[in-house]
Each structure stands twice: as structure tokens, then as C-alpha cells.
């Protein structure tokens, strides 16, 4: 099994130059897949790539 990088909401927001709130909205709506550990979200690198391909930034 290969190692996969996980990102925080803040990491994704900085990468995409959007607000933390925008990333939270995408997670809650299901547009961006993420894993919720208690109150903390983690986003797999592969899920972020899939999201970006679908959005055609």
C-alpha cells in the first residue's frame, strides 16, 4: 500500500487560494470528499485531485 498525503482544511484553502469556509462548505455538501475525525477534517491527496479535475480549475 502506498503512502498517501492528507491535508487539513487550512492546507487545501491555502493551495486553492480560497477561504477555510469555502473548503468546509465543499466538504459538508459532499463536493469534496474528506474524513472527519471528531471535529477535525482530513482530505486525501487523491480526493483533492479528483475534486480539482471535476471542477476544471
Predicted model pTM: 0.87
Nearest to 16 by CA among 41, 48, 42: 48
What letter would DSSP give residue 31?
A: S
Per residue in 6-29, pLDDT (tens digit) is 999 999 999 999 999 999 999 999
| Helix and strand totals (H; E) in the chain | 3, 3
Using 50, 70 and 90 to split pLDDT, how confident is the model at 47?
very high
Amino acid at each position: 500500500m502506498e503512502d498517501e498525503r492528507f491535508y487539513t482544511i487550512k492546507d487545501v484553502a491555502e493551495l486553492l487560494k480560497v477561504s477555510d469556509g469555502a473548503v468546509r462548505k465543499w466538504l459538508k455538501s459532499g463536493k469534496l470528499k474528506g474524513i472527519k475525525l471528531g471535529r477535525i477534517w482530513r482530505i486525501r491527496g487523491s480526493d483533492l485531485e479528483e475534486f480539482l479535475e471535476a471542477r476544471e480549475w
